[in-house]
Every structure is written in structure tokens, then in C-alpha cells.
């Protein structure tokens, strides 16, 4: 469930001290009230309440090392930004780390400086080798598995899920090649996404594709809530970024390289928006034009944090009493009917928040801080007492 709660009211964001306080607030919330946060019921069916990532490398063979490195880099990034392993479906068509041509056995790098081994501990590959097929990808997306398939290989998303689908490999006009033997066509992808929508398997879906002519893969998409970004337009190639002359192969593609460069500056508390990610692509550096398909997506990109998809950061709703299951159930039903009426919903939430004693205390603290000018004094006293506390504790432990 949500690991943290975050509030992004505009008036708060502007205030520097307030943002400091926010972190303080977060830490307090997560440490003092673990039982409260973990027990929040998913009362709202349309709220964003979990994150999934499906990362696919579709090509085999040693010379496609960079595709595996791309996917593993993305894997590392989304994991770093907070999506747990159990919610990442990682599909790797070949095992470059154990390829006998690899100069660094059991290691995969995405940069020639060899600083970061992407294939270290805790890499959980869900589909590997010849399991990476179009059929399996479509099964994962649509959730039509055979009964024997373990849960770890399934995309167990729901209507509140934000899903990141990242694919890399060799593609062409309206297709993406899988394994040198089959293709995923834009129709297949669109159909799978449509089925997912009908089966309430996602709230929002971000499809990111790094192949040649990636934009053509999105041409058939129709389902609302889908955002798509590709590395190149129709007729353009996507190029690799650089060659590692030690390993003897190209280790990363340009689009992915610059995506990673964007994310390297961020941590899971960052507020960078999808819009800023999309505008960070420089066609001269990419040697292709990044393509975005936004017409199916309702929210303005500048207000959607990237961590909504690449991390696991979401709004968390606090209820004043977590155990009022009986009373919350009709509300959940009600909220389905009011799904599109967001104002009412927010009002309701505010009422709920006010009822919570913790929130009342917080409100009081906040009022004191914001409305009066001597806020800095309080902060100073706060720090002073913390230092005192620290000294006392070290003295005690020594």
C-alpha cells in the first residue's frame, strides 16, 4: 500500500518553511501512526492507489546487449523510486550477464564507466529467455493466465492502478519485434489495452517505447487514460548512445539514456512533472524526435508528477477510524456514482480529515506556523530541543 502520504496544495508549495514542515509531517505520520496508514481501506474505486510496472526487453542475442541494459536501468530506476519488486513484471528475452562473450561475467552495465552494475542483487526477472513472447505479454496485460501461473508473474492491478509499460527492442512501422521470430503489432497492443480498460485493470497507463519508429506503435490506441511516449517518429530510427569498447557492444540507447539522466536527478520526493520529462528530450541529442500521444489522457501533464508512474507516490486518504468497515462500505459505493464529481469528493475528504484527532492537531500546528510570523522561532526552538535530545541520548548510550 502507500508508503507515504503527500499533500500538494499550491499555497503550501510556495512556502519554503512549509515544505520543510511537510517532510517533518511525513516522517511523523509514517513513524507515529503505522497502524493507521497501513489500515486505510481502498474505499475509492477511482483513486490512484497502487503502481505497477511492466518492463519488457524483446530482443535476443549478444549484439542487442543495450536492450537488456535499457530495461534493467528502468527496472533499477522504478525500484529506486518506490515500486516494489512484487509489482514489477520484468521480461528479459536474453541473459546478457551470463553470455559467454561478456567481458564482465554476471554483470550488466549501461555506461562505459562501469560504475553501476545493473544486474547485482535483488533483480527479480519474471519472464526470461523464450518465455518473452507476444502471447505472454498479452496474457500479462490482460490477466488471462493459466491457473498454474504464479502470482509473481501476474499483473494483479486494479482500477486504481497506474501502470508503466516500458518496451525496448527492434521495431518498425506499427510493430515491435519479439525474439527474432514474432511481432507485436500496434493493433495487438491497442486491443490488449482496450481489454485492460474494460476489465478495470488500470486507472492510468503510461506506455514508453524505445525502438525505431516507436510512434507508429501507438496509432491504434483508443482507450482513455492512456499516455504514450515513443523514442522516434515514423520513418525515424532510434540510435544507441555509446559503445563500450571494453565489452565490445553498445550499452544503452539514446532515448533511454536521456530518460535515465532525467531520473538520476530525482528521488522519490521530487515533484518533477511528466511534462518536464517530456520536454527534457532534445531531438539533437536523441537523433530522433520523441513522440507523445496525449489525446487519450485527461490530466494536464504539468501537474502529474513522474513519480505517479515511475515511482509509487500517490495520494493517500486518511480516515478517522479505520475500523468502521460497515459505514465505509456504502460510501465506497456512493463514490462510484460520484466518480466524476471530484469537488464533492474532496469536500467529503476534508470533513473526514477534520474529524481525525491527529489531523486536528496538525491543523493547529499548521495554523500557528503559517499565520503567525514568528514561525522561525518555533523552528529554532524545535531544532534546539532536538540537539539537546541528541546530546542526552548519546550521553546515555555512552
Partner 1 sequence: MEEQKPRAARKSRLIVRLGSFLVSHSAFVSVICCVAGCIALLLLPVLAKNTYVSENALMPGSANPMFSNQDVLEANRFVKDIYEKRILKDGSGMEIARLIGKHMKDVGAEVYYHKFKYHNLRFHPLCFFSSTPRTAVLQNSSACILNGVSPVGIIRAPRGDGKESVVLVTPYNSENIKLNEALSLGLAYSVFSLLSRVVWLAKDIVWLAADSRYGEYTSVASWLKDYHNPVFSSDYGKIGIDMCFEKTENHVEDESSFDGAAYDDFKRAGTMAAALVVKVMDKERSERDRVDIYAEASNGQMPNLDLINIVHYLAVHRQGLHVRVGTFGFLLNSALLKHVGKTLQRLTRLAESLNPGWKLGVNSADFVEGTATLASSMYYQALGVPTGPHGAFRDFQIDAITMELTPRTSLTNNNGISSFLLRGGRLIEGVIRSVNNLLEKFHQSFFLYFLTAPNKFVSVGVYMIAFALLVAPLPIVAAALFSSTANARSSTAISNSKPTNSKPVTRSGSWNWLHSAKLVFLVHLWALIVSLLPYLISQVPHTNSTTSMLSWSLSSLLILYLLTRLTKSYVEGYQWEVLKSVMIAAASIGLSLMSIINFSTAQVGSILLVPMCLMVRPLKQPVQASFFLAALLKILNILLAVVAFPPASLAILKGCLRGFESINIGDFWEWSEFLWVWNSATYLFVALVHLPCWYLCVHILLHN
Active site residues: 170, 212
Q: Does 381 bind partner 1 (CB under 8 A)?
A: no
Least distance CB 217 / partner 1 (angstroms): 21
Q: Does 62 bind partner 1 (CB under 8 A)?
A: yes
Q: Does 181 bind partner 1 (CB under 8 A)?
A: no
CA distance 116 to 62: 20
Q: Does 186 bind partner 1 (CB under 8 A)?
A: no
Residue of the chain from 245, 284, 298, 394 that contacts partner 1 (CB under 8 A)? 245
Surface-to-core class of residue 128, CB atoms within 10 Å of its CB (0-12 exposed, 13-18 middle, 19+ buried)? middle
Q: What are 88's strand-pairing partners?
A: 53
Q: Does 61 bind partner 1 (CB under 8 A)?
A: yes
What residues numbered 248-267 form the site for partner 1, per CB under 8 A? 248-250
Of 210 and 353, which CB lies nearer to partner 1 in the complex structure? 210
The DSSP result for 105-152, as a single string, is TT--BSSTT---BTTSSS---SEEGGG--HHHHHHHHHT---TTS-GG
Q: Does 102 bind partner 1 (CB under 8 A)?
A: yes
Which of 169, 162, 202 has its CA nearest to residue 81?
A: 162
Q: Kind and range of the H or E element at 92? A: strand 88-92
Of 95 and 158, which CB lies nearer to partner 1 in the complex structure? 95
Q: Does 364 bind partner 1 (CB under 8 A)?
A: no
Least distance CB 248 / partner 1 (angstroms): 3
Q: Where do we find the cell 507523445?
A: 292
Residue of the chain from 1, 8, 39, 243 that contacts partner 1 (CB under 8 A)? 243
Q: Does 105 bind partner 1 (CB under 8 A)?
A: yes
Q: Does 100 bind partner 1 (CB under 8 A)?
A: yes
Q: Judge contact between 139 and 201, C-beta under 8 A.
A: no
Of 245 and 397, which CB lies nearer to partner 1 in the complex structure? 245
State how far Cα 308 lies from the chain centre: 5
Residue 290: phi and psi, rounded to 5, are: -65, 140
Least distance CB 306 / partner 1 (angstroms): 34
From the list 95-103, 213-221, 223-231, 368-376, the region that binds partner 1 by CB under 8 A is 95-103
Least distance CB 170 / partner 1 (angstroms): 9
Q: What are 249's strand-pairing partners?
A: 244
From the list 140-148, 242-250, 321-329, 372-380, the region that binds partner 1 by CB under 8 A is 242-250
**Total residues interacting with partner 1, rule: CB under 8 A:** 17
CA distance 302 to 163: 19
Angle between helices 186-198 and 134-142 (to 10 degrees): 20
From the list 29-37, 61-69, 222-230, 380-388, the region that binds partner 1 by CB under 8 A is 61-69
State how far Cα 112 lies from the chain centre: 27
The C-alpha angle 45, 50, 51, rounded to 5 degrees, equals 135
Length of the chain: 398
Least distance CB 99 / partner 1 (angstroms): 7
Of 246 and 347, which CB lies nearer to partner 1 in the complex structure? 246
Of 95 and 183, which CB lies nearer to partner 1 in the complex structure? 95
Residue of the chain from 103, 267, 350, 385 that contacts partner 1 (CB under 8 A)? 103
CA distances from 155 to 96, 142, 297, 301, 363 (A): 25, 8, 22, 25, 39
Residues lying near partner 1 in the complex (CB under 8 A) are found at: 61-63, 98-103, 105, 243, 245-250
Amino acid at each position: 500500500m502507500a508508503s507515504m502520504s503527500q499533500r500538494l496544495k499550491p499555497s503550501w508549495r510556495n512556502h519554503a518553511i512549509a515544505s520543510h514542515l511537510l517532510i517533518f509531517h511525513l516522517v511523523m505520520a509514517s513513524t507515529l501512526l503505522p497502524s493507521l496508514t497501513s489500515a486505510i481501506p481502498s474505499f475509492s474505486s477511482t483513486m490512484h492507489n497502487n503502481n505497477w510496472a511492466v518492463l519488457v526487453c524483446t530482443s535476443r542475442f549478444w549484439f542487442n546487449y543495450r536492450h537488456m541494459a535499457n530495461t534493467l536501468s528502468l527496472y533499477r530506476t522504478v525500484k529506486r523510486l518506490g515500486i516494489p519488486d512484487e509489482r514489477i513484471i520484468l521480461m528479459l528475452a536474453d541473459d546478457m550477464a551470463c553470455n559467454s562473450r561478456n567481458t564482465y561475467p554476471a554483470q550488466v552495465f549501461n555506461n562505459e564507466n562501469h560504475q553501476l552494475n545493473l544486474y547485482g542483487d535483488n533483480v527479480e526477472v519474471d519472464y526470461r529467455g523464450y518465455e518473452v513472447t507476444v502471447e505472454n505479454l498479452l496474457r500479462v496485460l490482460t490477466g488471462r493466465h493459466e491457473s498454474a501461473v504464479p502470482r509473481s508473474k501476474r499483473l494483479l492491478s486494479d482500477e486504481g492502478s497506474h501502470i508503466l509499460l516500458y518496451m525496448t527492442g527492434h521495431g518498425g512501422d506499427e510493430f515491435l519485434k519479439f525474439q527474432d521470430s514474432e511481432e507485436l503489432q500496434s493493433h495487438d497492443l491497442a486491443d490488449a489495452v482496450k481489454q485492460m480498460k474494460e476489465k478495470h485493470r488500470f486507472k492510468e497507463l503510461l506506455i514508453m517505447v524505445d525502438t525505431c519508429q516507436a510512434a507508429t506503435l501507438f496509432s491504434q490506441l483508443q482507450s482513455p487514460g492512456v499516455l504514450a511516449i515513443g523514442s522516434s517518429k515514423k520513418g525515424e530510427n532510434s540510435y544507441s548512445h555509446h559503445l563500450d569498447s571494453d565489452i565490445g557492444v553498445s550499452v544503452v540507447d539514446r532515448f533511454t539514456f536521456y530518460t535515465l539522466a532525467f531520473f538520476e536527478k530525482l528521488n522519490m520526493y521530487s515533484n518533477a512533472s511528466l511534462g518536464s520529462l517530456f520536454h527534457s528530450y532534445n531531438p539533437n541529442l536523441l537523433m530522433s524526435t520523441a513522440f507523445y500521444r496525449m489525446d487519450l489522457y485527461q490530466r494536464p501533464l504539468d501537474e502529474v508528477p513522474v513519480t505517479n508512474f515511475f515511482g509509487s507516490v500517490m495520494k493517500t486518504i486518511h480516515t478517522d477510524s479505520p475500523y468502521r468497515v460497515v459505514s465505509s462500505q456504502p460510501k465506497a459505493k456512493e463514490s462510484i456514482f460520484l466518480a466524476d464529481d471530484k469537488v464533492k469528493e474532496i469536500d467529503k475528504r476534508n470533513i473526514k480529515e477534520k474529524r481525525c484527532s491527529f489531523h486536528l492537531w496538525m491543523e493547529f500546528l499548521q495554523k500557528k506556523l503559517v499565520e503567525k510570523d514568528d514561525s522561525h522561532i518555533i523552528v529554532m526552538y524545535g531544532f534546539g530541543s532536538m540537539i539537546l535530545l541528541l546530546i542526552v541520548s548519546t550521553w546515555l548510550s555512552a
